[in-house]
A and B are shown apart, each in its own frame.
Chain A
Amino acid sequence: MSQHTLSVIVEDKPGVLARVSAMFSNRAFNIHSLAVGPTHVAGRSHITVVVDAPELEQLKKQLHKLVNVIKVTELEPSDALESEVMIARISADPVIRGEIGDTAGLFGARMIDLGPDSITFEVSGTPEHLASFLDHMRPYGLVDLVKSGRVAMKKLSDVARTVVGQS
């Protein structure tokens, strides 16, 4: 089953997230990741939802049927700006702290906590970036991990990007 990313603009009202997640469970769709937050427009929230589903057509239509849903956009990976924040605690003997710190630095990870035998990093980026970071950290020992859920936005079209670039 493939993963799809949906960008959903909803009314910022109590219970809207519950309605969206209730629809997913009612229709037997599996949520992989979900992130919710306000937008630049008052009264509007943005939900980025990553789902495991064979196809999205029915899901998009069911989302549209929810009265509080204003807009649903499917984001193809090639067409999306995606990011996620992760906090990862890596076991780190003081002897190899430097080595771990150097490697983490290559990923733009920021140390946010230091313990006697662990380092905690905050790192953000695309799903691939985070996966690669974890691949490099796993050999040292992964103690704890939390992810924010993916947020995504549609890329500007090539035409729009050119115009922006010229100005």
Chain B
Amino acid sequence: MTDKPYTGSHSLLESLEHEGVEMIFGVPGGAILPAYDPLLDSPIRHVLARHEQGAGHMAEGYAMATGRVGVAMATSGPGATNLITPLQNAKMDSTPLVAITGQVGTAAIGSDAFQEAYTTGLAMHVTKHSYLVTDADTIPDVIHEAFHIAATGRPGPVLVDIPKDILNQHTTWSTPSLAGLPGYKPPSSDGHPRQIKAAIELIESAERPVLYVGGGVIRAGAAAELLAFAEAANAPVVTTLMARGAFPDGHALALGMPGMHGTYTATTAIQKSDVLVSIGARFDDRVTGNVDSFAPHAKVIHIDVDPAEIGKVRNPEIPIVGDARRVLEALTTRLAAVRSGAPAPTRESWLSQLGVWKAEKPLSYDQPEEGPVKTQYFIEKLHAVTGGDAIVAAGVGQHQMWASQFWGFSQPGTWINSGGLGTMGFAVPAAIGAKAARPDRTVIALDGDGCFQMTFQELITATTENIPVKVVVFNNGGYGMVKQWQNLFYGGRISASDLGTTVPDYPKLAEAMGCVGLQVDQPDEVESAIDKMMSVDDSPVVLEVVSPLDEMCFPMVPAGGSNDDIVMGRDDL
């Protein structure tokens, strides 16, 4: 130990420790090898993923469950290219992530060397920022900047590419600074006082206000401030796919998720609103449907930490740039000041209208007694058995929408999914990252068979690293959402979306990876299957739920359609 020189690798590890990193998800390889040697002596835990994409999603799951920066590490070339999907995923969902990649030696860069890829060039398109380190002496500053950029303003992924010779370069460590960031000034304000004042005037005078809450509220840690403001303003709340858990679904003012597969009430409330207060949301096409007919009567207040989101899709009447938590606080303070003790507007007819819609157009499904087990039914049962006390991760597709619809969220940071990029296969590795971060919590991946088959090998990681996640695989024998679109929009011509139900044998596959493998196909056995799954605490467990092959997800606003035309079920078609 003592006779080893201090190199870039040591500086890298020391820098990561300095940033408070407790865990790295990674896969080693040639160019990053020097960094793996001092890792043996570091207090930082390394979780050895089976694929770099898995490592990246684990780091995202870690970040989403803790609000801290997730760290992934990979080698050059294929290691780095395998990280591209998680990086873009993190960019789209504003997840703080730092990726460290090895690079071929400085002298070999540009020579098409073994395992060379132009990583920083690739990263340019899928990160918030990226670095190529050319001198080991700069490692402390670069790592410090990378964590600062990843975590502040609108969070996002940052990549640091380090050539092998730089990792081996003799260097010293010095306390880092942010002096090298003259152009990076993330807004951190409470919002301009004049805008806050105007916003409150508008909200107070609104007859049909809606708070349109996005993932920014989760990232800003603003759930408590949102609850306080919503109650003070007596304004109903819709939570987008990325914001599930930002506002308790059980609250009287909660309308659920809006958009393509949102609740009738949430989607329609926005359509009929006269004042729409967007907080940390970005008017995504899955929320707005046809933009021209979106919230046609609403004056819009748009609150976002990223100025580029404001006016990108819809020009707001009142733009407010600022941190969601601080702006919400400022709004609540201003509200109290203008009311000076007077009660909140009752908004009686609006709130009672919303109540009528909730009662008349609820989320619904029917569960045939003889099975198979519908995903919606299982999720409701699982929520009942666990009391909702779990962190839930999802893949992408029908099961994701049903999870969002039927899992009653009550806390931020308990819903981990891929919203913007829609990355199938996200659930298993993201759940592993979340469980590694929060071993005290129950972490359940709700996954589809199509998604599961993209990343299930990470369950080997879960077993060997002793990360006892629970994975529910809803097996409908195919890519359910693709099938749904083919049934609805392609005349029922099922092309390449059928995966069959005979292979793999999920319980056996689970057992081969060291997990407990379970299966349930009868509705009346669901509760006991859940009990069995919940009783496994010392290893990962996979529960296959044999699901109907052709169930469709409703409500649905067909892509590009108007949110006024919500399809509630097959009968509406």
Task: Point out residues on A near B: beta carbons under 8 Å.
Answer: 10-11, 14-15, 18-19, 22, 26, 57-58, 61-62, 64-71
Measured between beta carbons, the chain B residues less than 8 angstroms from A61 are 307-308
With A67-B129, A67-B149: A62-B308 Cβ-Cβ less than 8 Å: yes
With A19-B124, A22-B125: A70-B183 Cβ-Cβ less than 8 Å: yes
Measured between beta carbons, the chain A residues less than 8 angstroms from B183 are 10-11, 66-71
**CB–CB A70/B124 < 8 A:** no
**CB–CB A14/B132 < 8 A:** yes
- Closest-by-CB residue of A relative to B311 is A57
Measured between beta carbons, the chain B residues less than 8 angstroms from A22 are 124-125
With A57-B311, A58-B308: A67-B128 Cβ-Cβ less than 8 Å: yes
Is B368 close to A, CB under 8 A?
no
**CB–CB A67/B184 < 8 A:** yes
Measured between beta carbons, the chain B residues less than 8 angstroms from A14 are 132
B 126-160 to A, binary, CB cutoff 8 A, 1 in contact else 0? 00110010000000000000000100000000000
Instruction: Please list 13 pairs of residues, one from A and one from B, whose beta carbons are closer than 8 Å in the complex, sorted by A's number.
Output: A10-B183, A18-B124, A26-B125, A57-B311, A58-B311, A62-B308, A64-B307, A65-B308, A67-B128, A67-B129, A67-B181, A68-B183, A71-B183
Q: Of the candidates B120, B182, B308, which one forms a contact with A15 in the assembled complex, judged by CB atoms under 8 Å apart?
A: B120
Q: How far is the CB of A58 from chain B (nearest CB, A)?
A: 6
**Complexed CA–CA distance, A71 and B183 (Å):** 7
Measured between beta carbons, the chain A residues less than 8 angstroms from B308 are 58, 61-62, 64-65
- Closest-by-CB residue of B relative to A10 is B183
Q: How far is the CB of B436 from chain A (nearest CB, A)?
A: 30
With A10-B183, A62-B308: A15-B124 Cβ-Cβ less than 8 Å: yes
**Complexed CA–CA distance, A10 and B183 (Å):** 8
Is B329 close to A, CB under 8 A?
no
**Complexed CA–CA distance, A65 and B183 (Å):** 9
Is B306 close to A, CB under 8 A?
yes
- Closest-by-CB residue of A relative to B185 is A64
Report, nearest first, the 10 A-B pairs whose CB atoms are least far apart.
A61-B308, A70-B183, A67-B129, A67-B184, A22-B124, A69-B183, A61-B307, A62-B308, A70-B182, A68-B183
- Closest-by-CB residue of A relative to B145 is A67
- Closest-by-CB residue of B relative to A15 is B120
Is B570 close to A, CB under 8 A?
no
Is B4 close to A, CB under 8 A?
no
Is B194 close to A, CB under 8 A?
no
Task: Point out residues on B near A: beta carbons under 8 Å.
Answer: 120-121, 124-125, 128-129, 132, 149, 181-184, 306-308, 311-312
**Complexed CA–CA distance, A152 and B68 (Å):** 43
A-B contact sample (9 more), CB < 8 A, given A10-B183, A15-B121, A19-B124: A14-B132, A18-B121, A22-B124, A61-B308, A64-B308, A65-B306, A67-B128, A67-B129, A71-B183
**Complexed CA–CA distance, A58 and B132 (Å):** 28
Q: How far is the CB of A9 from chain B (nearest CB, A)?
A: 8
- Closest-by-CB residue of A relative to B124 is A22
**Complexed CA–CA distance, A135 and B120 (Å):** 45
Measured between beta carbons, the chain B residues less than 8 angstroms from A71 are 183
Q: Of residues A15, A26, A66, A67, which shows the largest number of chain B Cβ atoms within 10 Å of its Cβ?
A: A67
Q: How far is the CB of A14 from chain B (nearest CB, A)?
A: 7
Q: How far is the CB of A39 from chain B (nearest CB, A)?
A: 13
Q: Of the candidates A11, A18, A26, A58, which one forms a contact with B182 in the assembled complex, judged by CB atoms under 8 Å apart?
A: A11
**Complexed CA–CA distance, A118 and B306 (Å):** 55
Q: Of residues B124, B125, B183, B312, which shows the largest number of chain A Cβ atoms within 10 Å of its Cβ?
A: B183
Measured between beta carbons, the chain A residues less than 8 angstroms from B149 are 67
**Complexed CA–CA distance, A11 and B306 (Å):** 21
**CB–CB A58/B312 < 8 A:** yes
Measured between beta carbons, the chain A residues less than 8 angstroms from B182 are 11, 70
**Complexed CA–CA distance, A71 and B185 (Å):** 11
**Complexed CA–CA distance, A67 and B128 (Å):** 8
- Closest-by-CB residue of A relative to B182 is A70
Q: How far is the CB of B91 from chain A (nearest CB, A)?
A: 11
**Complexed CA–CA distance, A26 and B308 (Å):** 14
Q: How far is the CB of B96 from chain A (nearest CB, A)?
A: 15
- Closest-by-CB residue of B relative to A59 is B308
**Complexed CA–CA distance, A22 and B183 (Å):** 18
**Complexed CA–CA distance, A10 and B311 (Å):** 25
Measured between beta carbons, the chain B residues less than 8 angstroms from A64 are 307-308
**Complexed CA–CA distance, A139 and B125 (Å):** 46
- Closest-by-CB residue of B relative to A25 is B125
**Complexed CA–CA distance, A68 and B132 (Å):** 14
Q: Of residues A61, A64, A65, A68, which shows the largest number of chain B Cβ atoms within 10 Å of its Cβ?
A: A65
**Complexed CA–CA distance, A97 and B182 (Å):** 54
Measured between beta carbons, the chain A residues less than 8 angstroms from B132 are 14-15
**Complexed CA–CA distance, A18 and B129 (Å):** 12
**Complexed CA–CA distance, A34 and B494 (Å):** 49
- Closest-by-CB residue of B relative to A9 is B183
**Complexed CA–CA distance, A47 and B181 (Å):** 19
- Closest-by-CB residue of B relative to A44 is B182
- Closest-by-CB residue of B relative to A66 is B183
Q: How far is the CB of A51 from chain B (nearest CB, A)?
A: 16
**Complexed CA–CA distance, A17 and B166 (Å):** 24
- Closest-by-CB residue of B relative to A65 is B308
- Closest-by-CB residue of A relative to B134 is A14
Q: How far is the CB of A16 from chain B (nearest CB, A)?
A: 10
Measured between beta carbons, the chain B residues less than 8 angstroms from A15 are 120-121, 124, 132
Measured between beta carbons, the chain B residues less than 8 angstroms from A10 are 183
**Complexed CA–CA distance, A26 and B128 (Å):** 13
**Complexed CA–CA distance, A30 and B184 (Å):** 25
- Closest-by-CB residue of A relative to B312 is A58
**Complexed CA–CA distance, A99 and B149 (Å):** 61
Q: How far is the CB of B267 from chain A (nearest CB, A)?
A: 27
- Closest-by-CB residue of A relative to B128 is A67
Measured between beta carbons, the chain A residues less than 8 angstroms from B124 are 15, 18-19, 22
Q: How far is the CB of B320 from chain A (nearest CB, A)?
A: 15
Q: How far is the CB of A110 from chain B (nearest CB, A)?
A: 38
**Complexed CA–CA distance, A87 and B79 (Å):** 47
